[in-house]
Structure 1
């Protein structure tokens, strides 16, 4: 990285020097120099940047430069929002619901890169994994939902597809971030960014003016030499403070419903606000608007030291920390609050040794840690705080009311009580070592290396610790009839361990001056998903039927299918006419190494059992220590015992043309096919049957709620019986299987104008289609798709558009330096302070145009009586 000068000399020729060559992270540049015959000593110097069109095979990544990071507008100063400046990247954050401990998804922004799931991206901070603290998605991000540290970032690059053998662990985007370092001069910055509601317009749900909002982001950075040309330091701090009143509309019981509730239910009515006079009323349900306060505090800091021992040896040490706390009203319930505390840390020690101009070794040690604590309870000082708990010794749990028996069967009350994911905690540690060797021999550039990562995760993710009472309708709630009461009587911390590793080799061969080929191979492995104390519990299957009791041992798996994961990588670059035209093609296999299975493995008997039983409100509070009534059933979870590692085959073809010395156009096709993708399945569904007569058994139509037309199923129809489960001794399950498939096909266009005449401009367009048969894994990580397959016996029936499929995406960004000040087009005669005041101003802009996200229609009642919530309709692809 940085500015370089290349000098070439040979006896009998003039020395040629090329300066002004700027290399960015992950870039290879070809520099052609011509030596002129000369009998006298002479020197020819040319100042010119690297060419717009690179003739190397790997230049298909997406650079976000230092200027773009610093200058382009960012809401919240979250620099990862610049990722969609590259083609093939979709910002999926808008479709994510929940947060840490709620959705068990990352609190940060979500991106789908080249059709891959957001959780399949990998963020590398100075070469070391930058991990988040979550169960489904390990992308980094603080309690603010932002990726702070703009002033600490020099630049970052996104490897989007068909990348080389040195990248692995995830098949999605490889986001390579490099922090700032000190230089031979001391430089610093100080800043304060303020945003408030003064210029905000009220949204659809605001009652009157926009609610109060105040956000402060402040900080400073400083870097410089300790010893000139030897030792350099850099430090950065950023603080984030936010106070926001979030407007929400909540459905609550109206006055008539409150009066009709049986005495045992009356205390539970305090979990919702009382509707004011004149509030919108929907036959038993009223709508209440509120603006509870959200407060966020977050601190970010980076410290870096670089030391140059000699021209052959350099050493760098970097430490980054992000620490924050979020106090937010529970969505749809102004009387309940969620508290999340999150801390992410990355430490790196990197040594680079130049043995010779042809042999370079880079060794890196890294430690990454991410931890969170989350809980949700009734807000102190509200009527909900006085509601007695569902379980003895605990605050009130979560309360869910399903479809109303009134005129609108899809309506439901807002969720109330504690968050069902309360009292959760997690600490995730990654110890990483990597060594990379580069050797140049004639036409060959050889690269080989090894990567090892020791994984630890200590977590308590047992849901329903405070209990969850679910009522099938408003009427059953008013009567006090609980259709399902969930509780976990004995939450236990689980200690998961694994060793991940890889070795790789790669040869970039310049076959001819116009044709370059890269042949690479990478092999990855893991030791499985193991519990440090032999408490890994998972359910087995016999003839397709799930077992009643789990198998307990050291590992979740009966067999480790991740011992040998071969991944060939091939790339070619061909300049058929001149260096201004390059045709590139790439092919590669990639695996998604599993290090986030705790969400399903942490909620199994005997250490974290979750039970369900029908009850009445009058039977509360329930004693979690027992004895339990005979109606209690265990809810199994887990993963496929012989799970395979998700695999992606990626292929690409691109044509890049230099239109002018500072402008290039790239057009390409990018595709992929994924198999062994994780998919959520109820492993205890009854086996579907063919209806023997018309109409089908009366028990089937009877499952429709009151007010829904009774539609008999014709003879010969394929339907799910409602009598029992495959294993009637246990309840419905939530199990991850590696049986999913996916595909991605895209046309990508990239027009790039490098800085010239004060203007930098780039525009990208993607026309794509994503297909899969289930990518949500957890209903709250995506607002558009269900978490479970509708028919586990025919997964193809779930095939369709992926939840992050956006057919058209166009993004343009521009930066224009105004020609003002001394020597410029306007006010060119001013000098001194006046010139300083008018010079250096830039206008920056990002414009995004894209289509919408697909969604799956879902119902609040269950016509098939099998636990699913989607309509009984098979939609075509």
Structure 2
């Protein structure tokens, strides 16, 4: 009943404009500074010619919410005053732009050419920013994915391989981000991100612009505590415009990876497409369509540790039954130790991707408008797995659609309704030489053939609007999100054999034999509801406050046919919970207060903004992880200390004795966030920002093990269940403190600049958030895991620029040359992205026998630290980046005393320039040639060193060896030098 009353209360309020659009607001005064009521404003879009009419209220304040991004002319009329007309008023996605005016007592019309907005934020206190469409199309992005540009936004951190799952905000998980396209869900559904490298999910050529808010955003955004990424698609205008392009790459232009033993992986890469937009009915109905395709074929470099010839012979002599297993590894080329050889090879990786988007915008009348957008991305890829030349495959498609209807009921009340649909269709698996995963330390792992079938959907119903009263803009809204996960995971048996050492293998002593049978196609369902109310209050001409309250109900995950086995030994007496017990109990009190202030003192001439904010932000983690009871319906067990061969059906019943457990009284993650920032206009359209932000996150996800042996009795607490079965809780704590500095310059001057530096420290007990967590080595000592986060990227710097070289007609240099000469010397543009980031923390582990541990739970065990011995050698090389002499094997019956994440990987840096030349072919028709270089200086970008330590003077596991590049994909950052060429025809 309380929930219903709350819903009715908020639903009775007018609701807010969408965050993928912009708002224009301000105060109209007379020459003496008195506010003018009833002033009429006509806001005209340069792109479409459409007009929006608003008027000032009794306080002289006007607000025009939910405007499409773009450039406008604003005309202001009031009886007895001069008409004032502002030209070139730019509005960004999610921006609340203040445009004040003082009218003169006279006749006629006064025109003001407004300089582009410098970007000074005077309405709220969040840390975030906007990437414009020109940046998306003109900057050199290796892979042409818009996610490669998110690192240009203050507060964002991108580890650089070009996928959505590499993007993080404020020390939180990649599962804690919200991805929207045109205001509705555009996530991977099972995961927040799309869990494959789909680069054209939204073509950069179809993006008008996008905003990412990192920390302390207002109550109209939420659903997760991390970043809020709002992408706005392009719309058609009152003139026909279009483009066609192709970008090509070939390995003959590229440098060899440093780890490829001189091999140059053969690569053929083509990215091509076209778009077209324009009017169907002038000033009434507009369209925009886009297509982009990608074809990539690379002979991928592979490497790893494999058995030496002598070790193969020893296995054949002592354990002939194991010979087929050891023969599944290829023969190596470079000796490393008596038992280990390094292998180098390659395998074909073939990728095809086809992306399309269509959008129509209909101006029904002056009070009503509508739009519809559909897009899809179809992705297919086959590739080698580790050192297996036989291919894995992944086929995925991501269709998405939205319909929106906007009504202006009165000059002070606007309503915006949207319905959205998002879908993921995925099939993945691989062909492998063995029917099981085989892990023999220190050799490379041979993967399993298991895969996943998935057909997931979300349905979004969103209603938002705005009501203006005096100096208050009251906003509120409701979002209803229905989620469906239809999957078979695994769709074939997942079988894994693990040997902790070569000696265990020679003894045919399998340390663990894990088996999970195939699952049927199941259907998880969950419904989420979000409500908010927000007041954007103009306390004065220089002080704005943003006060809001958000309520989030994340619902209960369940299976549509009632299938699923819920396991919680801490709260269910028989370990297996009765059917009457839900998978978990929902949290009903997720209220999120949020407040921010922005002050632009008159004494500083409106060129300085001091901002601060605080808020609480909730999230329920990864959707797929909430449905673990579905995984428990299949045969699932772990055997210890057995010998090969073992068979999945050898005496093991169909009951699940190695299930995945979860706390049925789980708490939703709660992130407390605060920020203080100062923005200063330092030059024309140039803003410098210095900011501090902090987070304290409670109820963070942690993935641990349970059912360890009692050291006193030698018995398992839960007989009949495997030792160390997985158990998921939300009991961790995480925090981040960061200093952020940025410099942003608008492109209107012909030079766009974006520089961002962040110094931060993220600390946790192993849980980052969402579905990310390290399993502790001692489940009874979570405080022993407190250390720098896995994603603690201490220093992070990005810079980008787009510079129209001031040469040729109309420019400072050689401005008087002929049109013919200008064809060659004019129209040049230089664009660059520079990135540099610290290495991430790494956890040093050691393989131990289960019987050596007090609880016999062998999870992420660490060695002892040798006092006085440095963690790194004096001269770090790729053969020895870490010092193996720094550790010792713990005594039997003890855990290692080395802290978690004690060492770090190498840092990564590179510069990516692009040079383009525009050739005018006819009136408003031109051809642009573009040459791009990724990692132009070909700096070697090292991957992570091997952190699995083993005792022995000869370093038997190759601890500290870096055997691969930072990025083994041909796209993203951290590749060797690569060149790309493109042609683009525009009209």
What is the CA-CA distance between 1:109 and the residue it aligns to? 4.3
What is the CA-CA distance between 1:822 and the residue it aligns to? 1.9
Counterpart in 1 of 2:168? 112
Counterpart in 2 of 1:163? 217
Query: Aligned in 2, Cα 1:771/1:688: closer, same or farther, shift over 3 Å?
Result: farther
Counterpart in 2 of 1:716? none
CA–CA separation in structure 2 for the residues paired with 1:564 and 1:643: 13
28-37 or 334-343, larger mean C-alpha shift: 334-343
Q: Work out whether 1:122 is the aligned partner of 2:185.
A: no
4-13 or 175-184, larger mean C-alpha shift: 4-13
Equivalent position to 2:156, from 89, 110, 115 = 89
TM-score calculated relative to the size of structure 1: 0.85
Counterpart in 2 of 1:413? 443
What is the CA-CA distance between 1:337 and the residue it aligns to? 2.7
CA–CA separation in structure 2 for the residues paired with 1:545 and 1:307: 56
Q: Work out whether 1:652 is the aligned partner of 2:675.
A: yes
What is the CA-CA distance between 1:489 and the residue it aligns to? 3.5
Conservation of the 8 A alpha-carbon contact between 1:568 and 1:589:
yes
Conservation of the 8 A alpha-carbon contact between 1:817 and 1:841:
yes
SS at match of 1:467: strand
Q: Work out whether 1:806 is the aligned partner of 2:793.
A: yes
Conservation of the 8 A alpha-carbon contact between 1:744 and 1:771:
yes
Conservation of the 8 A alpha-carbon contact between 1:121 and 1:170:
yes
RMSD: 2.6
156-165 or 282-291, larger mean C-alpha shift: 282-291
Counterpart in 1 of 2:430? 376
Counterpart in 1 of 2:858? 867
Equivalent position to 1:24, from 75, 78, 92 = 92
Counterpart in 2 of 1:569? 594
What is the CA-CA distance between 1:531 and the residue it aligns to? 1.3
SS at match of 1:823: coil
Query: Aligned in 2, Cα 1:142/1:836: closer, same or farther, shift over 3 Å?
Result: farther
What is the CA-CA distance between 1:546 and the residue it aligns to? 8.1
Q: Deviations over 1:97-123 (max 9, x none)?
A: xxxxxxxxxx64411112221111111
Structure 2 portions without partners, runs of 5+: 1-68, 863-895, 903-987
User: How is 1:598-637 mapped onto 2 (pairs within 5 angstroms)?
Assistant: 598=625, 601=628, 604-605=631-632, 607-614=633-640, 619-620=645-646, 622=647, 624=649, 627-628=651-652, 634-637=657-660
SS at match of 1:541: coil
Counterpart in 2 of 1:449? 477
Conservation of the 8 A alpha-carbon contact between 1:108 and 1:146:
no
What is the CA-CA distance between 1:72 and the residue it aligns to? 1.0
User: How is 1:781-792 mapped onto 2 (pairs within 5 angstroms)?
Assistant: 787-792=774-779
Query: Aligned in 2, Cα 1:684/1:597: closer, same or farther, shift over 3 Å?
Result: farther
SS at match of 2:842: coil
What is the CA-CA distance between 1:41 and the residue it aligns to? 4.1
TM-score calculated relative to the size of structure 2: 0.76
Conservation of the 8 A alpha-carbon contact between 2:192 and 2:622:
no
Q: Work out whether 1:845 is the aligned partner of 2:832.
A: yes
Q: Work out whether 1:826 is the aligned partner of 2:813.
A: yes
Conservation of the 8 A alpha-carbon contact between 2:566 and 2:583:
yes
Conservation of the 8 A alpha-carbon contact between 1:765 and 1:810:
yes
Q: Work out whether 1:8 is the aligned partner of 2:76.
A: yes
489-498 or 608-617, larger mean C-alpha shift: 608-617
Q: Deviations over 1:311-355 (max 9, x none)?
A: 221111111111111111112x22443211111121110111122
41-50 or 219-228, larger mean C-alpha shift: 41-50
CA–CA separation in structure 2 for the residues paired with 1:551 and 1:857: 41
What is the CA-CA distance between 1:308 and the residue it aligns to? 0.9
Q: Work out whether 1:835 is the aligned partner of 2:860.
A: no
CA–CA separation in structure 2 for the residues paired with 1:111 and 1:417: 27
Structure 1 portions without partners, runs of 5+: 97-106, 379-383, 388-395, 403-411, 690-720
CA–CA separation in structure 1 for the residues paired with 2:471 and 2:108: 29
Query: Aligned in 2, Cα 1:825/1:42: closer, same or farther, shift over 3 Å?
Result: closer
Conservation of the 8 A alpha-carbon contact between 2:378 and 2:397:
yes
Q: Work out whether 1:582 is the aligned partner of 2:609.
A: yes
What is the CA-CA distance between 1:628 and the residue it aligns to? 2.9
What is the CA-CA distance between 1:280 and the residue it aligns to? 1.0
SS at match of 1:326: strand
SS at match of 2:148: helix
SS at match of 2:806: coil
Q: Work out whether 1:730 is the aligned partner of 2:721.
A: yes
CA–CA separation in structure 2 for the residues paired with 1:600 and 1:799: 28
439-448 or 863-872, larger mean C-alpha shift: 863-872
Q: Work out whether 1:676 is the aligned partner of 2:699.
A: yes
What is the CA-CA distance between 1:687 and the residue it aligns to? 5.4
Q: Deviations over 1:732-764 (max 9, x none)?
A: 211210101111111111222223542222222
Equivalent position to 1:753, from 739, 745, 755 = 745
CA–CA separation in structure 1 for the residues paired with 2:276 and 2:455: 31
Count of aligned pairs between the two proteins: 790
What is the CA-CA distance between 1:140 and the residue it aligns to? 3.1
Equivalent position to 1:532, from 539, 560, 564 = 560
Conservation of the 8 A alpha-carbon contact between 1:323 and 1:342:
yes
167-176 or 662-671, larger mean C-alpha shift: 662-671
User: How is 1:264-663 mapped onto 2 (pairs within 5 angstroms)?
Assistant: 264-275=321-332, 279-331=334-386, 333-378=387-432, 384=433, 396-402=435-441, 412-416=442-446, 418-419=448-449, 422-462=450-490, 465-542=493-570, 547-552=574-579, 555-557=582-584, 559-560=585-586, 562-576=587-601, 577=603, 578-594=605-621, 596-598=623-625, 601=628, 604-605=631-632, 607-614=633-640, 619-620=645-646, 622=647, 624=649, 627-628=651-652, 634-663=657-686
Q: Work out whether 1:175 is the aligned partner of 2:229.
A: yes
CA–CA separation in structure 2 for the residues paired with 1:860 and 1:546: 34
CA–CA separation in structure 2 for the residues paired with 1:452 and 1:285: 56
Query: Aligned in 2, Cα 1:398/1:570: closer, same or farther, shift over 3 Å?
Result: same
CA–CA separation in structure 2 for the residues paired with 1:426 and 1:295: 22
SS at match of 1:634: coil
509-518 or 482-491, larger mean C-alpha shift: 482-491
Conservation of the 8 A alpha-carbon contact between 1:327 and 1:339:
yes
Conservation of the 8 A alpha-carbon contact between 2:116 and 2:685:
no
Conservation of the 8 A alpha-carbon contact between 2:492 and 2:519:
no
CA–CA separation in structure 1 for the residues paired with 2:199 and 2:502: 35
Conservation of the 8 A alpha-carbon contact between 1:548 and 1:730:
no
What is the CA-CA distance between 1:846 and the residue it aligns to? 1.3
CA–CA separation in structure 1 for the residues paired with 2:629 and 2:521: 8
SS at match of 1:159: strand
532-541 or 608-617, larger mean C-alpha shift: 608-617
Q: Work out whether 1:54 is the aligned partner of 2:126.
A: no
CA–CA separation in structure 1 for the residues paired with 2:194 and 2:742: 27
Counterpart in 2 of 1:742? 734
CA–CA separation in structure 2 for the residues paired with 1:24 and 1:618: 63
Query: Aligned in 2, Cα 1:463/1:663: closer, same or farther, shift over 3 Å?
Result: same
CA–CA separation in structure 1 for the residues paired with 2:762 and 2:574: 35
What is the CA-CA distance between 1:216 and the residue it aligns to? 1.3
Q: Work out whether 1:230 is the aligned partner of 2:222.
A: no
Counterpart in 2 of 1:254? 308
CA–CA separation in structure 1 for the residues paired with 2:546 and 2:626: 39
Conservation of the 8 A alpha-carbon contact between 1:201 and 1:209:
no
465-474 or 219-228, larger mean C-alpha shift: 465-474
Query: Aligned in 2, Cα 1:761/1:510: closer, same or farther, shift over 3 Å?
Result: same
Query: Aligned in 2, Cα 1:230/1:757: closer, same or farther, shift over 3 Å?
Result: closer
Query: Aligned in 2, Cα 1:141/1:67: closer, same or farther, shift over 3 Å?
Result: farther
CA–CA separation in structure 2 for the residues paired with 1:208 and 1:164: 53
Q: Deviations over 1:528-567 (max 9, x none)?
A: 111111123221235x89855454457311x32x233101
CA–CA separation in structure 2 for the residues paired with 1:618 and 1:346: 48
SS at match of 2:105: coil
SS at match of 1:264: helix
CA–CA separation in structure 2 for the residues paired with 1:145 and 1:127: 20
Conservation of the 8 A alpha-carbon contact between 1:186 and 1:222:
yes
Query: Aligned in 2, Cα 1:218/1:256: closer, same or farther, shift over 3 Å?
Result: same
Conservation of the 8 A alpha-carbon contact between 1:534 and 1:554:
no
